[in-house]
Structure 1
Amino acid sequence: MRHELVVGLGYGLRQGLFFLPRARRIGIERWLRGWEETRLLARADVAFVSYAKSGRTWLRTMLSRAYQLAYGIPEGTALEFDNLKRLDPRIPSVLFTHGNYLRDYLDQWTDRAAFRRKRVLLLVRDPRDTAVSQYFQWKHRMHPAKKALNAYPPHGSGHSVAEFVLQEPAGLAGVLDFLELWERELPQLDSVQVVRYEALRGQTAAVLSSILDFLGTPAPMGAVEGAVAFASVENMRRLEAAGADAGYKGQRLKPGDVANPESFKVRRGKVGGWRDYLSAAECDAVEAMVQARPGQLFGYKTNTIGDSSDTGAAISSG
């Protein structure tokens, strides 16, 4: 079943749920989204997994541009499941997922068994930065229906940054749950490359080149550097301000309010910027939540990992 047919069928089924009670409707919609992703995962060559606001749009833009420059993919064509593979069979089909709906359909809440036989590209980011970035996504960009579907605070509620990050399940706690589970599951995965957002920021061309190698699509350094330049924060913000087509499912890079830089999808990309939005006491509370979790959380329990000095290479295994 083609990608478009699976997505279209899932969308059509979800549209028929409007008459059900809210809780029942949300449960069924999450199950249907998981059904859709499970079928796509079975067909995908690679699963690109990340928590929301971990830099996926940026990396996806760089990959798309690298394929345009190195593999002759038409200008403006963004990587979306198997669309580039249909143009050039050397390029893998890639499922971009946060993994949160799959568990509803598969009832896999304590493991990631569905990914164990897949090639997995796992993008992680400092959970403190991720949680703060998620706050601005929720406040300025997220559709009310998505807030309800994913148990975010209700639309229009007046949460502060600290309240969202420290008190809400969709805040820091959710990011830590994600990192903790995936770190525990790493030894069970057949083939995985873990990429830290901070390493990608520090050594962008080198890490992007290693990702392309992992995907089986090496690219000359000229194409890699061209992709890095195209996906710079400055250029992506310029494209977003102009309403340029992002190429993903017909969506556009469009700010919630062009006069408010915090409403842009592409905000700052700053490593360690979470501290700018919290008081000293609130920062201490955030650190306490991180340190209370088991494991190393991909190195993020160490204070030097995730600050502006982190230029380490991508972590790879398998």
Structure 2
Amino acid sequence: MLAKIIRLLVWGAVFFLPEHKRIAIDRRLRGREEFRKLQKSDCVIVSYGKSGRTWLRVMLSRFYQLKHGLPDNSLIAFDNLQAKNRDIPLIFFSHDNYLKDFTGNADSKKDYYQKKVVLLVRDPRDVAVSQYFQWKHRMHPWKKRLNKYPAHDSDISEYEFAMDQNVGLPKIVEFLNLWADEAGKIDQLLVVRYEDMRRDTAKVLTQILDFIGTPATPEEAQDVVNFSSMENMKKMEEKRTFRFSGSRMVPGDRKNPDSYKVRRGKVGGFSDYFDED
């Protein structure tokens, strides 16, 4: 909250600057906040946007709800759950968007070398399609300019979006390739495939919790799986169960299923939007 207030104050001070300078300042401020959280964190979960992070966030939140008797609407932001119980680790969720604007480490993952990192990856084609719907129905206009997305009112297809150099497949593959190149330099790294989480959720969740250092019993893991099913997550989003945790699990338009954070989650769903050519 404090970081957002600071950004708003700075925004007011630089409002009359050219947009490219405002963007650079905003990205640096966001990067500074990411750096602060990274330094404090016990574990960082990194993913390109729309790779299953919200699903994993709900699963981990549910586990700590069970473990420490927290309310069902407790959703990990950063340190909010640890404020209720010191045994809950500080988990920093990041799309690795802005850190480099503060540290200058754009061509390496040096900032993460000494951290415990869970890297969540997904088929880039599915990521691109899911990103399209995020951009079209949920994303704030300023966020689009901040990250070089197509203009707010652009009329483009899923395919055109997926081929965009700044936000489509080229960008997603570039992100994944840099992480692949740097993986061997990170002291503690667990790579998790979204497709594996879909195939055997309890098994992969157990691996993640073991890696974090807060192991789950089989019974706890199964409860988490049930709680975080696509059907239940859609119901929770409709009911705005996590409304006190910002817009993460709130639909853009209740009447439009494509505006929901929990949309389909289908493995290979990109094929429903692209033909074989």
1:261 aligns with 2:257: yes
Compute the displacement of 1:247 (Å).
Answer: 4.6
Compute the displacement of 1:169 (Å).
Answer: 1.5
Counterpart selection for 2:198 from 197, 201, 205: 201
Does the Cα contact within 8 Å between 2:248 and 2:261 map onto a contact in 1? no
Render the CA deviation track for 1:158-209: whole Å, top value 9, x for unaligned: 0101101013420111110111000111100000111100000000011111
Hey, what does 1:42 align to over in structure 2?
Answer: 39
1:161 aligns with 2:143: no
Does the Cα contact within 8 Å between 2:119 and 2:189 map onto a contact in 1? yes
Counterpart selection for 2:98 from 85, 89, 101: 101
The alignment partner of 2:181 has SS state of: helix
Does the Cα contact within 8 Å between 2:7 and 2:29 map onto a contact in 1? yes
Aligned length: 277
Hey, what does 2:267 align to over in structure 1?
Answer: 271
Q: Normalising by the residue count of structure 2, what TM-score does the alignment of the two structures yield?
A: 0.95
Render the CA deviation track for 1:11-46: whole Å, top value 9, x for unaligned: 533443322111110111101111111112111111
* C-alpha distance 228-17 of structure 1, shift in aligned 2 (>3 A): farther
Render the CA deviation track for 1:197-236: whole Å, top value 9, x for unaligned: 0000000011111111111111222221111111111111
Compute the displacement of 1:10 (Å).
Answer: 4.1
For residues 1-318 of structure 1, the aligned pairs below 5 Å read 4-6=1-3, 8-248=5-245, 250-251=246-247, 253-281=249-277
Compute the displacement of 1:76 (Å).
Answer: 1.6
**CA distance, structure 2, for counterparts of residue 252 and residue 192 of structure 1:** 26
> What is the letter of the counterpart of residue 69 of structure 1?
L
> What is the letter of the counterpart of residue 243 of structure 1?
R
Q: Normalising by the residue count of structure 1, what TM-score does the alignment of the two structures yield?
A: 0.83
**Which moved further from structure 2: 206-215 or 252-261?**
252-261
Render the CA deviation track for 1:257-315: whole Å, top value 9, x for unaligned: 3333222111111000101101211xxxxxxxxxxxxxxxxxxxxxxxxxxxxxxxxxx
* C-alpha distance 211-255 of structure 1, shift in aligned 2 (>3 A): same
Does the Cα contact within 8 Å between 1:14 and 1:32 map onto a contact in 2? no
**CA distance, structure 1, for counterparts of residue 115 and residue 210 of structure 2:** 16
**CA distance, structure 2, for counterparts of residue 16 and residue 224 of structure 1:** 49
> What is the letter of the counterpart of residue 195 of structure 2?
E
Superposition RMSD in Å = 1.6
> What is the letter of the counterpart of residue 156 of structure 2?
H
Task: Return 5+ residue gaps in structure 2 as ranges.
Answer: none
The alignment partner of 1:237 has SS state of: helix
**CA distance, structure 1, for counterparts of residue 125 and residue 251 of structure 2:** 23
> What is the letter of the counterpart of residue 33 of structure 1?
R
Render the CA deviation track for 1:119-141: whole Å, top value 9, x for unaligned: 11111111110011001111111
**CA distance, structure 1, for counterparts of residue 239 and residue 165 of structure 2:** 34
> What is the letter of the counterpart of residue 220 of structure 2?
A
Identity of paired residues, percent? 49
* C-alpha distance 259-46 of structure 1, shift in aligned 2 (>3 A): same
Compute the displacement of 1:246 (Å).
Answer: 4.8
Hey, what does 1:298 align to over in structure 2?
Answer: none
**CA distance, structure 1, for counterparts of residue 15 and residue 231 of structure 2:** 41
**CA distance, structure 2, for counterparts of residue 243 and residue 88 of structure 1:** 24
The alignment partner of 1:77 has SS state of: coil
* C-alpha distance 93-158 of structure 1, shift in aligned 2 (>3 A): same
